[in-house]
Every structure is written in structure tokens, then in C-alpha cells.
């Protein structure tokens, strides 16, 4: 089938109705204008993703000549002065086509244009430029940043087309290009890491932060980005409250006007829980689009769901009993609780969504809500959860979604009896099928796996752990990834500003923004590792503090 006006309209109707997308990007935030190359790259990702999902859109060439570029201001990236024979928009499309095909020389592009006059006509090219004109345009007329954008957008187009099952002219590199010499040492020096992190942080933050908005109206003297700048600043300092932070920030910020602490709190309090979650999901969606172009991201597929709690609340919680609830452990302490779903395993550990936990929220409601967000953002195969989610109804819901799971089981009388038998037989591992009652003569089938702990100090049933899974026992090895979410919580809490406020929305915003800073850090680390070494190791080479400092220093929020 061929591309039609109706199929093109369908693409942009779908984009317009997508709550997670602002297109074109330059209109979504003061961070961008019509000449912003990161905004252009973001737009290509948005359009390409939807474009190639249409059955009528079967090749990359129609996308290249149809991609909306009339709003883009190329002048700041044009190093020629005076009249020229060819418009920058036309040249951009030509070099985009060249990069999509992977042609090393301009001669191949000239031959293609000569053999396909229809393409030349579609992009408004009255005559085919010669090889030398194209070479000079690429090497002398285009800025280095614009050349990088051509390469980045071409890779995006190829990846989005390939993901949709569309044939592509060449196999796309699913990683950023490596710019270091092959003779360099495999372990990059600290200075090299910082220099690369600076450039990557700029791009990643430009992608994520425009999703946040205070909706303050027109004519405000203090730029909205100053509020996100202040919140990031709080994350840079341990246990820094907003009033003290705002006073210090006046002296450290390069802005003429910065918000006072009480103004910052008032604006954040105006945000509803759902507004905060929607903005967070939009920011993560943008972040995922950026990292999805790396081969390493395609290790994604395992998510972990867990609940964390703030430090124990020691004040008077009268009137707040539904929000300041008991701790997960059976104690007489109280705390705010937050639930998250996070990528784990070999994938970059981005927090896909977060939500508050109130009194009365069931574990099934929490899991369903977070999985809806996760499956809207990434492909999910396996779900890992802690034993507080030991519920046959949750397990049945996961199976009905076609998902695998591993969940520790609370030991009841029958499990304790089984461990005694295993101890007598000196067995370290045992598997058995079990049916869990759902009610109304309905059952959920699962597999129980008993595993003996190494070097246990106990002599009774506590030597064993019992897991439930709906797949083979090999999936049990993946449960080791669950520790990553606990490790992530420690970093996330490190990024939170301090507050004594009981305002539930404010508390949740502090946690959600800290999750975003954590996710930005891990995304930056992934991209820097791939850029410098071509590989991704789970242990970060870019520190969290370095990333937050660069966010404040190098991006439009600083």
C-alpha cells in the first residue's frame, strides 16, 4: 500500500490526541525555540514512532520528504552568508536520506536523485546539485551540531522503522557513535567521563524537564524553570529544606530572579497528585525515547514493583491518618509510603512510574495501576515483587496479562512442615505445583520453589525461602535483581529535599522529582558508557552528584 493524505492525517491526529506528547517540542517549553536541535531530534522521534505504525507507510524515503520541517529555523546552523542556491531545509532532507542509506560519498546521493526525479520534486529541488556542492554544504555550510543531528535523526528513523517491521536501507546502529580513538585505553579517564557526561546531560535534561509545568499563566517575572532549578538544587544538598535552600540559591544561581521558599511551596501545593504523576510519566516517556536508540536498552523486559517509606513520622498525625500510615514492618511507627515500578535486570534502572500509598489502597490496585503505566511505556515480560504482594489474586492478574512473575511466599503451616521434611533429607532445593484458591471454585496454578539459604544462622524453617512463579525454575535467578530497587531507593531519598510539611501532594512531588533525577542520572550513565566504551556495565561510571551538578550547570533549568 502507498502513503496517502489520509494516512498522513491519521499520524498527526494520533500524535495530537496522545497525552504523553507535545508536538512540536519547541512550543511545549521555554527551554526550546524553533532553532533548537534537541527539540528537532525529539520531534523526529515522536513522528517516526507513529508514522511507521501505519500499514501504508512502508519505506523511509517517503518519511524523509514528508517530515514537517517548515517551522524549523535552520539559519543559526548555516555558516554561509548571502544568497545560496539551495535552502537549508532541502539540504537537511538530502543529507538525512544519505545517512539513512549509509552512503559514504555524495556521488551515491547524486545518482539516487538523478534516478528518482519524483523525490527531487517532492522536496522542492529544481535541479540536482553536483557532488562538490553537496560536499561543501556538509563540511563547510552545516555546523558540527547540525551534522550530529542529521546522524542522530537518521538513526532514529531507521530504528523506529525497523521496530515496526518496515524494511530499512541499512541496519541501524543501536548505540551512540564512539568518538574516541581505537588505540585509547578501554577504561576512560575521569576527565573524559566528565566531559562526555556534560554533553549528554545537556541533551537528556532538555528532553525530560519540559514535561513539567506549574501552569502559572502569562507575565510571571520569575521564569518557571527557576522552580525546577531550585528543586534540583535541593537534591544536591543533603537534608536541605526549601526556605534555607532558596536563600542559598540566590547567591549560587546565575538567574536574576529566583523563587522564595514559600512561593515554591505554594506553587507545588497547587499541583494535584494526578498532575504530578502525568508530568512524571511524560518526562519518563521522553527519557525512554532517548535511551531506546541504544542496543543496551533492548535488554529491558523485567520490572520490579515495590513500596518504600519515608523516615518515620514523629509529629502529630491527627487528621492525616489516611496518608501517614504504618510502616511496612510490624512496628508502632508511622510514615508516608510510595510505590514504584522500575526497570531492573540488565536494563538501565529507570523508575517508570511512582504513586502514593494511602490507607485502604489494596496491593492489587497498586500493582494494576503501576503495571498499566509500565506496559504503556515499555515491553514487559517478567514482574518481580516482594513478599508483601503475596496474593493469589495479584498472581492471577499477572498471569491473565501474559506476564511471568517471581514472588516470595509467606510461610504458612504447610510450608513450614515441608521445610522440616527437606531438612531431614538434607535437600537444598525442592519444587512442587500448588493451586491457590481464588473463590467461587476458581483456582490459580503456580509453582512453589523451596531454596535453602547459604550459611544460614538458623536451624529451623528459616533456613529456606519459598518463591512462587508461573514459569520454570530458571526464572528464579532473576529475583536477585529485586535488590536493585532497594538500592535505587537509597539514591532516590538522597535526591529529596527536606520538608516537615504534612501536605500530601508536596511530599509526593518531592519523592517523584527525586525519582526523575535518579532516572536522569542512570540514563546519562548509560549513554556515556555506550559513547565511550560501546558497552553498558550496570555499575555506574558517572556519579550521581556529577550528574546533578551538570543538570544545574549546563541545561536550560540552570
Strand-pairing partners, residue 303, are: 343, 383
- Report residue 196's pLDDT band, with 50, 70 and 90 as the boundaries: low
Counting residues of the chain whose pLDDT is more than 90, the rounded percentage is 35
pLDDT at 552 over 80: no
Q: Which domains, ranges and CATH numbers included, belong to the chain?
A: 5-164 (no CATH), 273-533 (3.90.350)
Block residue for cell numbers 518504600:
308
pLDDT, greater one: 282 or 455: 282
Provide CB contacts within 8 A for 5, sequence distance 6+: none
pLDDT at 350 over 70: yes
- Residue 378 pLDDT: 87
CA distance 230 to 109: 49
Helix (H, G, I), strand (E, B) or coil at 52: coil
138: DSSP letter: I
- Residue 198 pLDDT: 62
Q: What's the mean pLDDT in 512-522?
A: 87
Output phi, psi for 316, to 5 deg: -80, 120
pLDDT, greater one: 281 or 25: 281
Identity of the highest mean pLDDT range in 97-111, 163-177, 242-256: 97-111
Helix (H, G, I), strand (E, B) or coil at 264: helix
In terms of Cα–Cα distance, which of 21, 18, 15 is closest to 289? 21
- Residue 218 pLDDT: 60
- Residue 282 pLDDT: 87
pLDDT per residue as tens digits for the range 207-231: 666 677 776 666 677 777 677 777 7
Counting residues of the chain whose pLDDT is more than 70, the rounded percentage is 82
Q: How many CB atoms lie within 10 A of CB 203?
A: 18
pLDDT at 187 over 70: no
pTM, entire model? 0.66
CA distance 529 to 343: 18
Provide CB contacts within 8 A for 153, sequence distance 6+: 40, 41, 44, 96
- Residue 180 pLDDT: 39
Per-residue burial over 468-486, b if 16 or more Cβ lie within 10 Å, else e, is bbbeeeebbebbebbebbe
- Residue 296 pLDDT: 63
Provide CB contacts within 8 A for 546, sequence distance 6+: 194, 197
- Report residue 537's pLDDT band, with 50, 70 and 90 as the boundaries: confident
CA distance 324 to 502: 9
Amino acid at each position: 500500500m502507498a502513503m496517502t493524505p489520509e494516512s498522513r492525517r491519521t499520524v498527526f491526529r494520533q500524535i495530537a490526541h496522545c497525552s504523553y506528547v507535545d508536538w512540536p517540542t519547541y512550543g511545549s517549553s521555554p527551554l526550546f525555540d524553533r532553532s533548537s536541535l534537541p527539540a528537532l531530534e525529539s520531534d523526529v522521534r515522536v513522528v517516526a514512532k507513529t508514522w511507521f505504525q501505519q500499514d501504508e507507510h512502508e519505506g523511509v524515503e517517503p518519511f524523509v520528504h514528508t517530515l514537517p520541517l517548515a517551522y524549523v529555523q535552520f539559519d543559526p546552523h548555516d555558516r554561509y552568508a548571502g544568497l545560496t542556491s539551495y535552502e537549508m531545509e532541502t539540504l537537511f532532507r538530502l543529507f538525512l536520506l544519505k545517512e539513512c542509506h549509509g552512503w559514504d560519498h555524495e556521488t551515491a546521493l547524486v545518482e539516487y536523485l538523478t534516478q528518482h526525479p519524483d523525490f527531487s520534486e517532492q522536496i522542492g529541488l529544481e535541479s540536482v546539485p553536483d557532488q562538490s556542492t553537496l560536499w561543501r554544504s556538509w563540511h563547510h555550510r552545516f555546523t558540527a551540531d547540525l551534522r550530529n543531528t542529521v546522524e542522530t535523526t537518521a538513526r532514529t528513523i531507521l530504528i523506529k522503522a525497523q521496530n515496526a517491521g518496515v524494511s530499512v536501507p541499512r541496519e541501524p546502529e543501536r548505540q551512540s557513535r564512539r568518538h574516541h580513538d581505537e588505540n585509547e585505553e578501554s577504561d576512560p579517564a575521569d576527565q573524559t567521563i566528565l566531559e562526555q557526561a556534560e554533553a549528554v546531560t545537556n541533551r537528556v535534561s532538555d528532553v525530560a524537564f519540559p514535561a513539567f509545568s506549574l501552569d502559572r499563566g502569562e507575565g510571571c517575572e520569575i521564569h518557571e524553570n527557576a522552580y525546577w532549578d531550585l528543586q534540583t538544587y535541593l537534591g544536591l544538598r543533603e537534608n536541605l529544606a526549601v526556605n534555607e535552600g532558596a536563600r542559598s540559591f540566590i547567591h549560587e544561581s546565575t538567574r536574576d530572579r529566583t523563587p522564595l521558599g514559600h512561593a515554591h511551596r505554594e506553587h507545588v501545593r497547587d499541583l494535584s497528585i494526578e498532575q504530578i504523576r502525568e508530568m512524571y510519566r511524560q518526562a519518563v516517556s521522553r527519557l525512554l525515547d532517548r535511551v531506546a536508540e541504544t542496543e543496551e536498552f533492548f535488554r529491558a523486559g523485567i520490572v520490579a514493583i515495590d513500596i518504600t517509606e519515608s523516615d518515620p513520622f514523629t509529629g502529630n498525625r491527627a487528621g492525616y491518618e489516611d496518608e501517614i500510615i504504618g510502616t511496612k514492618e510490624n512496628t508502632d511507627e508511622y510514615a508516608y509510603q510510595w510505590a514504584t515500578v522500575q526497570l531492573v535486570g540488565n536494563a538501565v534502572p529507570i523508575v517508570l512510574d511512582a504513586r502514593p500509598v494511602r490507607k485502604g489502597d489494596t496491593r492489587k490496585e497498586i500493582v494494576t495501576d503501576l503495571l498499566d503505566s509500565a506496559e504503556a511505556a515499555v515491553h514487559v515480560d517478567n514482574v518481580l515483587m516482594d513478599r508483601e504482594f503475596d496474593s493469589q489474586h495479584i498472581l492471577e492478574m499477572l498471569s491473565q496479562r501474559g506476564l511471568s512473575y517471581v514472588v516470595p511466599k509467606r510461610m504458612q503451616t504447610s510450608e513450614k512442615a515441608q521445610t522440616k521434611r527437606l531438612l531431614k533429607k538434607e535437600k537444598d532445593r525442592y519444587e512442587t505445583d500448588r493451586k491457590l484458591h481464588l473463590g467461587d471454585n476458581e483456582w490459580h496454578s503456580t509453582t512453589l520453589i523451596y531454596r535453602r539459604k547459604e550459611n544460614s544462622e538458623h536451624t529451623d524453617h528459616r533456613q529456606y525461602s519459598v518463591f512462587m512463579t508461573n514459569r520454570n525454575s530458571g526464572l528464579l535467578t532473576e529475583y536477585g535483581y529485586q535488590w536493585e530497587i532497594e538500592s535505587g531507593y537509597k539514591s532516590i531519598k538522597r535526591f529529596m529535599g527536606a520538608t516537615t510539611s504534612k501536605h500530601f501532594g508536596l511530599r509526593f512531588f518531592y519523592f517523584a522529582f527525586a525519582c526523575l533525577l535518579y532516572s536522569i542520572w542512570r540514563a546519562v550513565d548509560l549513554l556515556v558508557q555506550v559513547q565511550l566504551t560501546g558497552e553498558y556495565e550496570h555499575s555506574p561510571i558517572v556519579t550521581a552528584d556529577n550528574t546533578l551538578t551538570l543538570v544545574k550547570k549546563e541545561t536550560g533549568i540552570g
